[in-house]
Structure 1
Amino acid sequence: MRDILDAVASGELSPAEAEAKLAGYTTTGAGRFDAARETRRGVPEAILAEGKTPDETATLAAAAVETSGRALITRASHAHVDAVKAMLSDADIDSDPRARTIVATEPGFERPTIDASVGIVTGGTSDAEAAGEAAAVLREMGASTERIEDVGVAHLGRVLDHLETLREMDVLIVAAGREGALPTVVAGLVNTPVIGLPVSTGYGHGGDGEAAMLGMIQSCTVLSVVNVDAGYIAGAQAGLIARAVADARDD
């Protein structure tokens, strides 16, 4: 503790950085940022912009960059992007309007690397938002990803055309709306872990993702399922599996 206090006194550490080292989080006027989550859990903390004002989101992003070198923001609007860019003018900022994600890093930030591959499969173009959120998390965790898009079960030939690639992946995330059949089909064709990501696409009864989630939970092939539109959770879980695969290879 004395070393940290001395570092603050000398200007080597900011008070926010010191708080993060001592408590594991830093406190801002917009809430607390869990700066130790990646070290503790192996998954980068994400700032959920939905429900937060642009200024609140930017304030938390600034705390994240200051204490961990990076801010990962999900469910962001154009206004959130503008606020983060204005507050973090010296940071490197990458935003994906389709996935609604923002990643801000301090100059020279180095991401980890995982020697494992994750396939991200979508039933249709409408599933791209949740799939893109998963891809953003995996990128920050260091796994390589490959997108296989628009291969829904309305024409099984589309997914069968990619079967060789699917079988080469270490982990698969399969996003689908409607009745959620695609993860079940894919899981019956590969010997790799499959994570079903139900998406709130479709219409009519159950079109809010409920039918997709129930279909995946009732799958007769073996797969795991996350909540509706939970791209962050799917990406994080796939990243943890990918890291375990890479560690096993090293051993």
Structure 2
Amino acid sequence: MNQNQLTTLLEQLVSGNLSVSDAVNQLKHLPYEDLGVARIDHHRELRQGVAEIILGQSKTLDQLSTIITALDDRQRNVLVTRLDQHKGETLTRQFPGGEYDELARTFCLVHQPAVNQGRGKILVICAGTSDLPVAREAVITARMLGNDVEELVDVGVAGIHRLLSCQEQLHQAAVVIVVAGMEGALPSVVGGLVAVPVIAVPTSVGYGAAFGGVAALLGMLNSCASGVTVVNIDNGFGAAFAANRINRTKS
């Protein structure tokens, strides 16, 4: 339940258009609902402005189905991350209104499209095509949270002219997410070109000495460009969530 829904409920109660028992029934699962396998935080949207988002990794299909059903029954928009193809396609059959993105490994079920409340556009930059799964997770998350999102794909430092030809897009963004593996140099380059927050996402893409993304992570943490912040390896979701909060901060 978000703030607008709670306000409407209270107004209906005061006006007599809603009975006390009906109001209690709608509020009975606040602040959370114990499903046995999970405790759904129905109060989170009131506190944070965003409903609970589900990490699909390591959860069974039965667990996911139980959690999604609890949100679906209350007309919540649902976002599940880190889903393999089998789980994603099974959930799509179970919830026909949902959509599974195989590349991003996300499942979305939208009841009410999120209203764009951002100050500007979030730009997601992907260094290489191999980094696309993480970048696309960020794109879908940011859009589900109600942001205008644009993508730049395959503009890594091995061919820096590709990025430099897109400077108009860079300067139109309110927040930039930069996804890169290997040595993780791209966020430093972008950070030196723009005056807005830059969120760097290291990916696990790379050869042996990349150490599963640790090399990129350390490179980004040691960025010589001021104002670059870094999230965990392969955490496109975390970058998008942070970008959403930045984009919604009042001027």
Q: Same fold (TM over 0.5)?
A: yes
Give 5+ residue unaligned stretches, structure 1.
Answer: none
- What's the TM-score, normalizing by structure 2? 0.86
Q: Distance in 2 between matches of 1:4 and 1:141?
A: 33
Q: Distance in 2 between matches of 1:169 and 1:19?
A: 42
- Preserved CA contact (<8 Å) 1:112 1:140: no
Which amino acid is 1:165 matched to? Q
- Preserved CA contact (<8 Å) 1:55 1:83: no
Which of residues 143, 147, 150 in structure 2 aligns to 1:146? 150
Distance 1:203 1:53, change over 3 A: same
Report % sequence identity: 36
Which of residues 224, 231, 239 in structure 2 aligns to 1:234? 239
Which of residues 60, 63, 66 in structure 1 aligns to 2:70? 63
Q: Distance in 2 between matches of 1:4 and 1:211?
A: 60
Number of equivalenced pairs: 234
Distance 1:207 1:163, change over 3 A: farther
Q: Distance in 1 between matches of 2:125 and 2:51?
A: 22
Residue aligning to 2:109: 104
Q: Distance in 2 between matches of 1:4 and 1:48?
A: 37
SS in structure 2 opposite 1:76?
A: coil
Is 1:167 the equivalent of 2:171? yes
Q: How does 1:109-128 map to 2 (within 5 A)?
A: 109-115=112-118, 116-128=120-132
Distance 1:228 1:68, change over 3 A: farther
> C-alpha displacement at 1:190, in angstroms?
0.7
Which amino acid is 1:51 matched to? S
Residue aligning to 2:91: 84
Is 1:7 the equivalent of 2:22? yes
Aligned-residue Cα RMSD (Å) equals: 2.1
Q: Distance in 2 between matches of 1:189 and 1:4?
A: 58
Is 1:213 the equivalent of 2:217? yes
Stretch of structure 1 that moved more, 229-238 or 58-67: 58-67
Residue aligning to 1:47: 54
- Preserved CA contact (<8 Å) 1:130 1:230: yes
> C-alpha displacement at 1:163, in angstroms?
1.3
Deviations 1:136-162 (A, max 9, x none): 111111110100010000111011011
Distance 1:4 1:141, change over 3 A: farther
Residue aligning to 2:198: 194
- What's the TM-score, normalizing by structure 1? 0.86
Which amino acid is 1:87 matched to? Q
Q: Distance in 2 between matches of 1:44 and 1:189?
A: 34
SS in structure 1 opposite 2:210?
A: coil
Give 5+ residue unaligned stretches, structure 2.
Answer: 1-9
Which of residues 136, 139, 152 in structure 1 aligns to 2:140? 136
Which amino acid is 1:49 matched to? G
